[in-house]
Amino acid sequence: MRECSRLSRRAVLGLTAAALPLSATTPASAATVIGGEQLARTGVQVRGASGLPGKLTARSWLIADCESGEVLASFNAHRRLPPASTLKMLFADTLLKKFDRTERYTVKDSDVADVPLGSSLVGIKPGLTYTVEQLWQGVFLRSGNDAVHVLAHMNGGIAGTVAEMQAKAEDLQALDTHVVSPDGFDHPGQISSAYDLTLFARHGLKDADFRGYCGTRTANFPAGGKKTFQIQNTDRLLTGAWGLRTYDGLIGVKNGYTSHAGNTFTGAATRGGRTLLVTVMHPATGSNAVYEQTAALLDWGFGHGRSAQAVGTLVDPLSEGGAKASPAPAKTAAQAAAGAADSGSGGPSTGRLVEGAGGTTLLLAAAGALVVRRRRRAAAAAAMAETAAMADAAEEAETSEGSAEPGGRHRR
């Protein structure tokens, strides 16, 4: 099914350039400092501890203490990347408490008519009746976009659910996240970050139902009549599938994969009364790499990371008394603007061509417009470059991995 939904590199670039909001192309450090200024920096951030795993190829990662919210180490924590099915954590944060788990719902054709072609599916059949609990098992265990769409239609529709998810992200202060679809499927402009995904997981794990679903290994799913079939969680550190060992103490949370987004995973594990959260986004190659690098970071956190001093913090939701994120320092913003405006031109100064008070006004207006244009061009170029890198990585993954997993373009 891959060929029917595959986009060319040129198409991906064009769609992204057209659809990405300006805020999505602006570096986090130029807009807000969520969780602390150090998290807005690029590169590895760690203090007071050594021994970080040496083979971390992910484009972004973060490890934090779930209870205190202290970020122990990170790499490009606020880098904005496609989240794939890890966005379903936000979907659950938004909708989980809206329906009683024992409520029953008979699926209509229209409930699954808008599921994207190539999606991962749990096997929802129109005409069958499911409990809400079974639908959530389909979401968490099989990453079923069909189950997501049924729940979204129960909630009033896709558009309204997307709007609620965006509002929830803003309440959680996940300001790197832009929601386009409730299922995490590839859509231009749909982005998040390692920091935001960790916020979603931390918030979700406070809920007993969320914690129970994401930690369930297998479940029986309706097949019609009295028949059922078994579904298994696609979290390989939880089940030990695809040649991986189960991770000791793992309690969840959610994985994701699409051909164009790559592999993404947020995992949580508890040892010795301490729970750590790790998010890994887009390792270079290999379908197991996202799990292996998560396990390596968890090992570090339970070992060397015990002496780490916080490089930032996972902020609390606004609705729970969290302090609103502060703007970036004025000095940082000024430097960013100056850098964008510096053209390096050796031509005559515009100021020499304009005289008098009226000329000064025109000069200021012209300079302001020039800065805006250059900043927009720089932002667009950065977005195009990042999307090109994603497309190249996806094409390489498709070439090297072939059909490592069933399910078409949207795999777990």
Residue 226 annotated as catalytic: no
The structure tokens listed for 24 are: 């999505």
Q: What is the DSSP string of 250-305?
A: EEEEEEEEETTTEEEEEEEEEETTEEEEEEEE--SS-TTHHHHHHHHHHHHHHTGG
Element (H, E) at 30: helix 28-31
Residue 227 annotated as catalytic: no
Residue 19: which residues within 8 A CB-CB, separation 6 or more? 187, 188, 189
The structure tokens listed for 172 are: 């959680």
Q: Is the dihedral of CA 48, 49, 54, 57 positive or negative?
A: negative
The structure tokens listed for 145 are: 């976009």
Helix (H, G, I), strand (E, B) or coil at 129: strand
Burial letters for 208-241: b for 16+ Cβ neighbours within 10 Å, e otherwise? ebbbbbbbbeebebbeeeeeeeebebbbbbbbeb
> Tokens 């991906």 belong to which residue?
12
In angstroms and rounded to an integer, the radius of gyration of the C-alpha atoms of the chain is 23
**CA angle, corner 390, sides to 2 and 93, nearest 5?**
85
Q: Which of 5, 120, 143, 259 is catalytic?
A: 143
> Tokens 């203090």 belong to which residue?
47
Q: Which of 29, 60, 74, 85 is catalytic?
A: 85
| Ramachandran angles phi, psi of 277, nearest 5° | -115, 135
Residue 97 annotated as catalytic: no
Q: Which of 29, 60, 88, 259 is catalytic?
A: 88
* Residues labelled catalytic: 85, 88, 143
